A = this chain, B = another copy of it.
Amino acid sequence: MCLLSGGLDSATALAIARAEGFVCHALSFDYAQRHRFELDSARKVAAAAGAAEHRVVRLDLSAAGGFGHSALTDEIAVPKDRAKAGGIPVTYVPGRNTVFLSIAMAWAEVIGAFDLFLGVNAVDYSGYPDCRPEFVEAFERLANLATAAAVEGRGRFRIHAPLMRMTKAQIVRTGLSLGVDYSLTHSCYDPSPDGAACGRCDACRLRLEGFAAAGATDPARYAPPPGDRRS
């Protein structure tokens, strides 16, 4: 099973899972993200990767804080053109990966798929607490205590985070070597209404730097910079 956001990282994690021979059940969440291009990308990426199936769970947590206030869910400005910042980014969404993994675990127990892949990365996104190796290890431990399947010995959960210690350039190189079509993926935190990436938010900058360092060209569609726009 693979958590699939539609971004570059989870598309690469899915390609790695497929290359390792796993039949992949891809899972995405519709949780009132500010923009919906991610889910369109997730569908295309799942199909291109030959996932056995792709499910989208609609998750409305508005009754319980709605994942709080984040630049990814609310009208909080997405930072642009900044150098790598320290601390936890405004794009952090409280509890998100824990909730997503829990639901993946519940589904995984039902269908007997004990290998969960996710595209978290501790190098470029070191500010997110739920993207660190210790988080992934703690979740794996929890899953093997929480489920009847694990306790009864019918399966042992393994949480795979194959990108954890890769740089963005290594991720891009790995994905390209596995045939990932990155034109299908969506990374931008602040796309234009037609889905073009801004090229200036943290996600776009990391992505562009990754492609440049890998000696490759990002096939994503970028909006022209403001000066280039025709009136």
Contact = CB atoms under 8 A, between A and B. Distances in A.
Interface of A: 27, 55-61, 63-69, 88, 92, 94-99, 101-107, 109-111, 129-130, 132, 134-135, 138-139, 141-143, 145-152
B135 A150 contact: no
Given A57-B63, A61-B103, A106-B61, A134 B129 contact: no
A129 B59 CA distance: 25
A203 to B, nearest CB: 18
Contacts of A95: 102-103, 105-107, 109, 146-147
A112 to B, nearest CB: 11
B94 A148 contact: yes
Instruction: Work out how many copies of this chain go into the complex.
Output: 2
B138 A150 contact: no
Contacts of A111: 65
B60 A55 contact: no
B135 A145 contact: yes
A65 B110 contact: yes
Nearest to A142: B138
A65 B98 contact: no
A147 B64 contact: no
Contacts of A142: 98, 135, 138-139, 141-142
B141 A103 contact: no
Contacts of A55: 63-64
B134 A145 contact: yes
Contact of A145 (B68, B69, B103, B132): B132
A98 to B, nearest CB: 5
Contact of A56 (B56, B63, B94, B98): B63
Contacts of A56: 63
A228 to B, nearest CB: 37
Contact of A106 (B65, B109, B148): B65
Contacts of A99: 99, 102-103, 106
Which of A57, A102, A129 has the most chain B CB atoms closer than 10 A to its own CB? Answer: A102
A143 B58 CA distance: 23
Which of A55, A96, A97, A106 has the most chain B CB atoms closer than 10 A to its own CB? Answer: A106
Contacts of A92: 148
